[in-house]
Amino acid sequence: MGLLFRENLEYIVLVVCFCAPLGIAAWWLRRRGAAGGWPMPVACGVVLLVAIGGYFAVNRAQRQEEDRLRQLLVGFAPTFATELESLGHAGITFDTRADDPAYLKLIEAEKRWLAVNPQVADVYTLRKRADGKFAFVVDSETDYNHNGKIDSDGADAEREQRTPIGEVFEDEDDALERAWDGQTVFSAEPYSDRWGTWISASVPMRDASGRIEAVCGVDYPAAEWLDHVETARRGVWSCVIAAICFVEALGVVAALLRAHVKDLKLRVAERERAAAELKRAKTAAEAASRAKSAFLANMSHELRTPMTAVLGFADLLRNTRADDAERSDWLDVILRNGNHLLKVINDILDLSKIEAEKMTLEAIATSPAAVLEEVAALMQVRAAEKGLSLRLSGGEALPAMVMLDPTRLKQVLMNLVGNAIKFTSAGTVAVDARYQPLNPMEGKMILAVSDSGIGMSDEVIARLFQPFEQADVSTTRQFGGTGLGLTISRRLVEMMGGQITVRSAAGKGSTFTIELPARVAAQHHHALRQQAA
């Protein structure tokens, strides 16, 4: 039982030692970023199955080898005993002389059998004495050290010489008793005597009348027995360990290949993304180029037309004699076109400053109501010229003073209200102002500019705030403008920490909403004066 435990423990330790590289390989793969996925878990599962199957295979190989050796001994003993019986073994007594020819004939038979069967260490016969002890009858000389001769002197002389007739057998056990009772006995447990440690088989020997008169014993060296068994076990061990190593290597290779394939896929995906980004960038660059080309064409028209008017009417003023009323009209035309030129130039300069990050904003105490009322007052005239109603309202009272840049807020509102008037042919343009307090000193100011004009589709809204963009090419021809106003407005609102959004539908008007953070500079509030035209 102890031997079986030791052998199984050796196998378990061996398997653990060879499975340890699997953990090391998993750690190494994780360091390389190749861990994960199915290869290593599958490899671990297969290694576990191989180890369990190997355990049973090793024990089966051990049992088969033990069965082979047992059959060798158990098959050898009866055959040998039968020959000794036929040679008159029953006639040998404890008083037979050592030079008796019949006795020597039996000795020679034993020596012949041992020469033919070198795996067997010794054969001998025992007979039960009157006192119940077993004593040797026939025991041949045995070449235990396998040097080719029976030593008569030296360290092995005593154990290789023939045991005298009648010498008491030292280590009796129940195996001899059972053989004396007529059984063929095999003892797998090693026993030791002064000659060594043995695995033995015992069979009964009978005289001519069939009566059991002796026991024939066959010894096999226990060390060689264990060596044969261990060799059989290790043969299966080597196959199991080779299978474990193969599975481990296969798992590592599969994990590396999977990681390599994954890496290749990522690279291909990255290249595809890069190609798509490049394509999008190219498309965007081409679109920007087309937009800038259209912008330059529009700009040339925006600059040339008023400049032509300015120069033409200035020439009329210098070279033509006209009455004061007519000259006043010409001056109005020059002033109007000059202002238009100034607005175009200011838009270009503002965008250039924003793009170059040179635009700076002020944060001064400002009355939002005053800014809204000023914008409404300035735009009333344009709204009235088109027969539109310009309405200014506030759902909640506004703080009297907030910290912001009044010039830039006015610029944004002027642009949004101007666009609303420009793209509305009939109806109303409304400016709604609200304030949402977040705490006593901070809040959010929401300004919404709505119109009942031509509106926009989702596609137009998506590119509305891009530089040089307008709803379509016909917009410039029909309404004029540079396409920079909304871009500048959005950038200014973002610089003030807010955002601008639009909600619109084609043919149903538009609503531009500005949300700005507002730090209160004065606690009292100021209600908007209702404006209408």
Signed CA dihedral, 488, 490, 496, 502: sign only = positive
How does pLDDT run along the chain (533 residues), one tens digit per residue? 444 455 566 666 666 665 666 666 666 666 666 555 667 677 777 777 887 787 788 888 888 888 888 888 888 888 888 989 999 989 999 989 988 999 989 888 888 888 888 778 888 899 998 888 999 998 887 766 666 666 666 666 666 677 888 888 876 668 888 889 999 888 877 877 777 788 888 999 999 899 999 999 888 888 888 888 888 888 887 888 888 778 777 877 777 777 778 888 888 999 999 999 999 888 878 877 776 776 666 667 677 777 887 888 888 888 777 777 888 888 888 887 888 777 777 777 776 777 777 778 888 898 888 888 888 888 888 888 888 989 988 746 788 888 988 988 988 898 899 888 888 888 899 999 998 888 888 889 999 999 988 888 878 877 777 665 544 444 444 445 556 778 888 888 888 899 999 998 888 889 999 999 988 886 555 545 544 44
Q: How many CB atoms lie within 10 A of CB 261?
A: 10
From the list 284, 292, 295, the residue with the least C-alpha distance to 476 is 295
Please state which CATH number belongs to domain 2-229.
3.30.450.20
Per-domain boundaries in the chain: 2-229, 288-357, 360-526
Q: Which residues pair with 199 in a beta bridge?
A: 220
* pLDDT reported for residue 12: 67
From the list 29, 26, 121, 19, the residue with the least C-alpha distance to 77 is 121
* Rounded distance between C-alpha atoms, residue 107 and residue 164, angstroms: 12
* pLDDT reported for residue 481: 54
Report how far Cα 486 is from the mean position of its chain's Cα atoms. Answer: 47
* pLDDT reported for residue 361: 83
* pLDDT reported for residue 323: 79
pTM of the model: 0.44
* pLDDT reported for residue 260: 77
**Has domain 360-526 been given CATH number 3.30.565.10?**
yes
E strand or H helix at 296, and its extent?
helix 222-319
Q: Give the fold, CATH level 3, of 288-357.
A: Helix Hairpins (1.10.287)
* pLDDT reported for residue 448: 92
**φ, ψ dihedrals at 104, nearest 5°:** -65, -30
From the list 214, 170, 171, 194, the residue with the least C-alpha distance to 81 is 214
Structure tokens, 387: 């027969």
* Rounded distance between C-alpha atoms, residue 168 and residue 170, angstroms: 6
* pLDDT reported for residue 76: 81
* pLDDT reported for residue 478: 47
* Rounded distance between C-alpha atoms, residue 471 and residue 294, angstroms: 13
